[in-house]
């Protein structure tokens, strides 16, 4: 298949390009498009046949449900059974934006896209291009991250091209995704709301609106046969570059730097270091990538997947990575880092 590649201005995407992409979606095709979190791979979310193509193109396990994207609040009521008070509060506070909410699904939502569950996850993205496309298609758009399953999510159109060129109908390049981490997912159906996947809308931000929430234990602990994540996608190794990733954690940053340097010195493989602005110049290693300023977790989140992909591009075999505190967006960063590392972590006392 020849994949159409079109570039648009982020704030003022050309109407003809959006219309062309919307037609593809209406006819059951696949279009990758930018959102504020990561690039999404879109299909008509009410068309099980179209959505099957998403699973095929990504190599995604069929039990991993898709998020439906809408571009106006009232579209929600067509695809869910009911909207609780807590959900309403979250919607008012965080939509449009990087928060996905899980609801009981309406009958029109095919079970094929919900992994067989009676629930459906819904998000209203804030990105102008995503909104324009969803409005033009006039459909709820199922859109997982536009990467090959298991790879780090794409934050640039070039990442999508690398993974999916020739497998999908169209890619819209609208520049870099500014958040760079997938949306926060919350399930408010139980008595105490549960955070299923951390993201840029943080636990603290959510609690300031609806009070105490719980975190799915698998957010920071390796899933097992007895510890099964409520978001099925979280059970898979995710976000992994080809390289082995090993996290080095400790309260004393200098000790962390020393340990990483020792590991690098002892290694016989091609090594890379995932550092921060505060530490990058202290390392003696050919490949050191800085995630940004340690005090600026948004910046670190935005650079994470890009850098994991860059290590692959550079042929790195082992990455030693610093960690960040698990507060605010740090929880999402640590969740993705731990998954990228397959939970391999050296903790210094």
Contact 302, 155 (CB under 8 A): yes
Q: Is 35 in the site for Mg ion (CB under 5 A)?
A: no
184 counts as binding ligand AMP under rule CB under 6 A: no
Q: How far is the CB of 123 from ligand AMP (least distance, A)?
A: 9
- Of ligand AMP, Mg ion, none, which one does residue 29 interact with (CB within 5 to 8 Å by kind)? none
Q: 47: cis peptide before it, omega within 30°?
A: no
Tokens of 292: 């940004």
Q: How far apart are CA 102 and CA 231, in angstroms?
A: 10
User: Interface with ligand AMP includes 232 (CB under 6 A)?
Assistant: yes
Q: Is 231 in the site for ligand AMP (CB under 6 A)?
A: yes
- Tell me the site size for Mg ion, rule CB under 5 A: 2
- Interaction of residue 144 with ligand AMP, rule CB under 6 A: yes
Based on the shown chain and the rule CB under 6 A, indicate whether residue 64 belongs to the binding site for ligand AMP: yes
* 283 binds, options Mg ion, ligand AMP, none, Cβ within 5 to 8 A by partner type: none
The β-bridge partners of 195 are 186, 215
Q: Could you give the residue ranges of the DSSP H alpha helices within the chain?
A: 15-26, 48-58, 76-79, 85-94, 128-137, 157-164, 203-210, 253-266, 297-313, 330-340
| Cα torsion through 56, 43, 97, 328, rounded to 10 | -10
Nearer to ligand AMP (CB atom), residue 198 or residue 241: 198
Q: Which residues of 295-324 are buried (b: 16+ CB within 10 A; e: fewer)?
A: eebbbbbbbbbbbbbbbbeeebebbbbbbb
> How far is Cα 68 from Cα 65, in angstroms, rounded to an integer?
10
Joined tokens for residue 232: 């099925």
**228-44-147 Cα angle (round to 5):** 55
- For position 182 contacting ligand AMP by CB under 6 A, the verdict is yes
Q: 126 is in the binding site of which of Mg ion, ligand AMP, none (Cβ under 5 to 8 A by kind)?
A: none
Residue 157 C-beta: closest distance to Mg ion, Å: 16
Which does residue 31 bind out of Mg ion, ligand AMP, none, counting CB within 5 to 8 angstroms by kind?
A: none
Cα(294)–Cα(328) distance, integer angstroms: 13
**Selection from 74, 208, 207, 53 nearest residue 134 by Cα:** 74
User: Of 8-16, 125-133, 136-144, 321-329, which part binds Mg ion (CB under 5 A)?
Assistant: 136-144
Using CB under 6 A, which of the segments 118-126, 211-219, 248-256, 315-323 binds ligand AMP? Answer: 118-126
37 lines the binding site for Mg ion (CB under 5 A): no
Find the binding residues for Mg ion in span 142-201 (CB under 5 A): 144-145
Q: Does 288 bind ligand AMP (CB under 6 A)?
A: no
| Residues within the interface to ligand AMP (CB under 6 A) | 64-65, 67, 102, 114, 117, 119-121, 144-145, 182, 185, 196-197, 230-234
């Amino acid at each position: 298949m020849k994949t159409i590649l079109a570039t648009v201005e982020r704030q003022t995407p050309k109407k003809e390009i959006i219309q062309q992409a919307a037609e593809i979606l209406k006819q059951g095709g696949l279009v990758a498009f930018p959102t504020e979190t990561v690039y999404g791979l879109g299909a008509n979310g009410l068309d099980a046949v179209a959505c099957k193509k998403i699973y095929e193109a990504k190599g995604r396990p069929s039990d991993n449900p898709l998020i439906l994207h809408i571009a106006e609040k009232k579209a929600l009521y067509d695809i869910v059974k009911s909207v609780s008070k807590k959900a309403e509060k979250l919607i008012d506070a965080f939509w449009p934006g990087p928060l996905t909410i899980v609801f009981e699904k309406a009958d029109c939502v095919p079970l094929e896209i919900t992994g067989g569950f009676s629930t459906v996850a819904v998000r209203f993205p804030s990105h102008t291009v995503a909104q324009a496309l969803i409005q033009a298609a006039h459909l709820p758009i199922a859109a997982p991250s536009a990467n090959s399953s298991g790879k780090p999510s794409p934050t640039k159109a070039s990442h999508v091209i690398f993974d999916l060129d020739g497998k999908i109908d169209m890619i819209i390049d609208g520049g870099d995704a500014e958040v760079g981490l997938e949306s926060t997912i919350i399930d408010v159906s139980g008595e105490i709301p549960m955070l299923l996947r951390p993201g840029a809308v943080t636990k603290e931000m959510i609690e300031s609106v609806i009070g105490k929430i719980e975190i799915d234990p698998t957010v920071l602990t390796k899933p097992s046969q007895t510890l099964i994540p409520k978001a099925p996608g979280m059970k898979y190794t995710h976000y992994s570059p080809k390289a082995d990733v090993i996290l080095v954690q400790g309260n004393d940053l200098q000790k962390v730097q020393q340990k990483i340097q020792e590991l690098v010195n002892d290694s016989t493989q091609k090594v890379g270091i995932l550092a921060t602005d505060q530490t990058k110049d202290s390392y003696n290693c050919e490949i050191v990538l800085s995630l940004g300023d340690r005090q600026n977790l948004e910046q670190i989140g935005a650079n994470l997947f890009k850098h994991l992909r860059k290590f692959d591009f550079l042929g790195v075999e082992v990455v030693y990575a610093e960690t960040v505190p698990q507060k605010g967006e740090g929880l999402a960063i640590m969740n993705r880092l731990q998954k990228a590392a397959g939970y391999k972590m050296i903790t210094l006392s």
